[in-house]
Structure 1
Amino acid sequence: MSKRIAGPEIERLIQLLAKVPGLGPRSARRAALHLIKKKDQLLGPLAGAMADARDKVRVCSTCGNVDTADPCMICTDPKRDAAMIIVVEDVSDLWALERAGAMNARYHVLGGVLSPLDGIGPDQLTIKQLVDRVSEGGVSEVVLAVNATVEGQTTAHYLTDQLAHMEVKITRLAHGVPVGGELDYLDEGTLAAALKSRTIF
């Protein structure tokens, strides 16, 4: 049994921080200590920002993004191409694609991937909502931007089957050599995917 190193309030802060992805117990202790040392500059404003997020953040009923409005800013942006829906596993993937700024489309967040071993089937994801969105019309392309994992590819195949009867083009992200990547450092799966997805130069 480990010794208690601080009061219950500090211990609770450490325990809560340790639940954040990417922060283990040691990192949580360091983060808590830093926040406490900078109580006025960081801890107070952070507590306020977290309270605001708790009270104001909503999940978009159209696409599944998180925002302070429902529908979210992306869904209500008239400059977005409503004929294209990019399907992602999670909101973090949506944000990553937005940072890249490569497409000016709408999104659909699945909320995960199919994984029978973990008890995640089609009913646990927003697949039906995606099919409903496409069946309403006005969508000409669905881009499957799921991860290149076994579960991601299984989900992509399932989605393709669900949308097969509709007049919509289904595409997926290319897989292969990253920009600035050196062949010697890439794994065999990435190299094989790059060769299969080769394009005319």
Structure 2
Amino acid sequence: MFLIEMFLYLGVFAAGVSGALIGIKKELDLFGVLFLGGATALGGGLVRDVMLGNLPPVGFLDPVYFLVSTGAGLLTWLFYHRINRLQKFILVSDAIGLGVFTAVGASSAIRHGFDEPFIVISMGLITGIGGGVLRDVFVKEIPFVFRKEVYAIASIVGAAGYYFTAPLMPRPAAMYLCLAVTFAIRIASIVFKIDFPVYKENKPSKP
């Protein structure tokens, strides 16, 4: 579980950076930038814990995650132009974060006694993409996961993989498998430029 924990911190950091980058581009003040970074990094886990009845949420019980996301936001504020150029690193870190958040979410559902497939997969998905959805809603953008990108489907497939393999192997192994599947799908979609189709309504041409 050591690697899972390390990847979790990396995912929180990457999510904090992505939220802070959006906050700076939207010209929020320092508090707004840090808040947006924290919402991106911790929002999915908070929503998951509330839905599972795990109160107070883990994000409040363990302040280390909050400190990591705040540190990410401060570093982004201080070194914005340098960090903004590290897009490939951010994408890879974000894909790792998606995988580990999905694994933690799916695992949390089973640990709290919810072993139905829909709940397990939903909790993995909510943990994986919830923070990003909150981030985009806060800045009045259409959530990133609704715009062509193969993002949510990677989380769904990964969580499903966890559900079907958890009874067959030790829990950490199932979590690593979930992480690997989610990460691989997300990275493959970026490398090969795979997007979901978008319905475009034919608008009448102007006379």
TM-score (norm 2): 0.24
Higher helix share: 2
Please tell me whether Structure 1 or Structure 2 has the larger radius of gyration of its CA atoms.
1
Greater relative CO (CA pairs within 8 A, separation 6+) = 2
Higher strand share: 1
